[in-house]
Structure 1
Amino acid sequence: MPLTFDMPLDALKTYQGCNPKPDDFDMFWDRSIADMKALGTVAKLERAEFQTAFAECFHLGFTGLDGARIHAKFLRPRNATGPCPAVLMFHGYGGNAGDWVDKLSYVAAGYGVAALDCRGQGGLSRDTGGVTGPTHTGHIIRGLDDAPDGLLFRRIFLDAAQLARILMAMPEVDENRVSAIGRSQGGGLALACAALEPRIRRVAPTYPFLCDYRRVWEIDLVMDAYHEIREYFRYFDPRHEREEEIFSRLGYIDVQHLCSRIRGEVFMGTGLMDMVCPPSTQFAAYNRISAPKSLALYPDFGHEDLPGHPDRIFQFITADRRREKD
């Protein structure tokens, strides 16, 4: 096995992250969860043009924090005889919920599927930042100079958890068998969602983003998905006089600090040559998970398709359903 460019594998297995955790982190998120729960689980379903013989497809809309109108794609098995398990899907940074056809394998296996459009990115969800249309990127640093409640990723994390609660409240869904999956930003959101809604039963993040920001800075990989951190310093703190304050503020939206809240089983995939979301940042999150967990390593792969891994995720998510049919 080749050595990762980041740190030796033995060190990765014990690494605990270096981005500071704010002293009031838990109170901050407990209060934020209460704000999200106060919004309830009301959602509107609108039948989509895309339909299949075995899947009913809908546009799902709900109102998130600050009045933002959030969109998701929702699919359910046609003619189901009882509450079905379900999967939450989260997309990569700047992307969207994807095509309907990408979800059909889970529906064919008897699962409902809800795929979120992150507010302000490449989908149909609306950001309430004072402009019409997407802001697309720059979301890590959005709100960094405001109070922590103003951090945009606080709202996006809570949108993910709110969608989970909406899904669990549907009569056609078994609230005790809901899972979350995603890669890159989607992997970070799957972990955050499972932390903020601990009823999530299984979590399958692939090379999760939004973890251990300071580590990315220290190994000089603030480019690609993390480049906005460098741009923030260049424009607003060129001498790094506020560096400690800035990374501490980012600690509120650092997924690694949420991971101890996860109660569902976790199956994570990591490429040891990942130059976008460095392995150490992913291990910082993984090592803080106390729930049952397992990790699939791909020594020669980076931030790219991991051969066979989607199949392994499908087997992991659908294990209960397959046992029922045996």
Structure 2
Amino acid sequence: MPLVDMPLEHLKKYEGVSPRPADFDAYWDRALTELRAVDPQIELVPSSFQVPYAECYDLYFTGVRGARIHAKYIKPKNVPEPHPAVLQFHGYTGHSGNWQDKLGYAALGYSFFSLDCRGQGGLSEDTGGVKGNTHHGHIIRGLSDQPDQLLFRHIFLDTAQLAGIAMQMPEVDPDRVMAMGGSQGGALTIACAALEPRIKKLAPVFPFLSDYKRVWQMDLAKDAYAELRTYFRHFDPQHKREEEIFTKLGYIDIQFLAARIRGEVLFGTGLMDTICPPSTQFAVYNKITSPKRMEIYPDYGHEDLPSFADMTMQFFLEK
């Protein structure tokens, strides 16, 4: 078969090439301490979109650094409580999408939460306040400042905070909360389950935000990763700080969060993916120590993987 990356037998052993910061665990422990000190000031606003068998709300809460974060929340009617819940995370620069495509889980008696990432295409705020450029990309946002200013740090924390809010809802069973998403949403699914290890099951698809140096080595710092090339061209054109830059990016590299996951994992990947290369995905998968399985699509790239959404629903329904 044609290859865009390593042979599969090598992918199954691949551990990544990006450097892991020496204080990575302390960094995220400090970040979680900051998150726990935040008063979320939760607000539920009934949506203009409603259906007979569920209640639809716009959920707002305050995240780290004072940003007001938005998520869609669907609460099923006339089902036993507490019941399971699903968290959904969207692709890069996107938003939480339509209400309609989330109703299948409500029909099953599951609460459903869909996050708008701060500063992207939805209703969540980006409070800014970092030094250096804000050119296009969120990967490089804060890269010229201290590591605690990296924007994806705050976005990762938003996912964990949403999970915690969901688990505190009286109608939700905190032992049956699950997460899913593709591309950036796959990365946020990994980050959420790592930072909130009570997530019971997770279904990431071709996750973004992993093994940045490998992306660079493959000359795939374009499309979703184009800002890596932009940053070097503007701020380190001779690559004199290359190791320093990739090490700082290591704080928001999901492969290094993967070992914190305790939930069961269903992972989807296409071996022809040139947006989020397979090796960067295997760098994450191979570090997960909880029960896991990967569904591999040899002829598919960064696109809809046939039947994977159905597999995900069946996976979430399994006791």
TM over 0.5: yes
CA–CA distance in structure 2, aligned partners of residues 130 and 154 of structure 1:
14
Retained in 2: the 8 A contact 1:209–1:277? Answer: yes
1:177 counterpart = 2:202: no
- Show the counterpart of 1:94: 93
CA–CA distance in structure 2, aligned partners of residues 130 and 148 of structure 1:
13
Q: What secondary structure, in the 3-state scheme, does the structure 1 residue paired with 2:283 have?
A: helix
CA–CA distance in structure 2, aligned partners of residues 4 and 48 of structure 1:
47
The CA deviation at 1:81 is: 3.0
Question: In the comparison of the two structures, how many residue pairs are matched?
Answer: 316
CA–CA distance in structure 1, aligned partners of residues 83 and 41 of structure 2:
20
- Show the counterpart of 1:323: none
CA–CA distance in structure 2, aligned partners of residues 136 and 37 of structure 1:
30
What amino acid maps onto 1:319 in structure 2?
E
The CA deviation at 1:78 is: 1.1
The CA deviation at 1:38 is: 1.6
- The CA RMSD measured in Å over matched residues stands at 1.3
What amino acid maps onto 1:282 in structure 2?
Q
CA–CA distance in structure 2, aligned partners of residues 136 and 87 of structure 1:
33
The CA deviation at 1:52 is: 0.5
What fraction of aligned residue pairs are identical, expressed as a percent? 61
Q: TM-score, normalised by structure 2?
A: 0.97
What amino acid maps onto 2:138 in structure 1?
H
What amino acid maps onto 1:290 in structure 2?
T
- Show the counterpart of 1:118: 117
- Show the counterpart of 2:166: 167
CA–CA distance in structure 2, aligned partners of residues 297 and 303 of structure 1:
12
CA–CA distance in structure 2, aligned partners of residues 310 and 107 of structure 1:
15
CA–CA distance in structure 2, aligned partners of residues 147 and 290 of structure 1:
31
Structure 2 unaligned runs (5+)? none
Matches within 5 A, 1:126-205: 126-129=125-128, 137-205=136-204
Q: What secondary structure, in the 3-state scheme, does the structure 2 residue paired with 1:221 have?
A: coil
- Show the counterpart of 1:236: 235
Matches within 5 A, 1:39-78: 39-40=38-39, 42-78=41-77
Name the CA shift for 1:179/1:137 in 2 (closer, same or farther; >3 Å). farther
What amino acid maps onto 1:105 in structure 2?
G
CA–CA distance in structure 2, aligned partners of residues 105 and 195 of structure 1:
26
Structure 1 unaligned runs (5+)? 321-326
Q: TM-score, normalised by structure 1?
A: 0.95
- Show the counterpart of 2:282: 283
The CA deviation at 1:214 is: 0.4
The CA deviation at 1:41 is: 5.2
- Show the counterpart of 1:324: none
CA–CA distance in structure 2, aligned partners of residues 38 and 316 of structure 1:
34
- Show the counterpart of 1:304: 303
CA–CA distance in structure 1, aligned partners of residues 154 and 188 of structure 2:
11
The CA deviation at 1:55 is: 1.2
Ranges of 4+ aligned residues in structure 1 off by more than 3 Å: none
Q: What secondary structure, in the 3-state scheme, does the structure 2 residue paired with 1:166 have?
A: helix
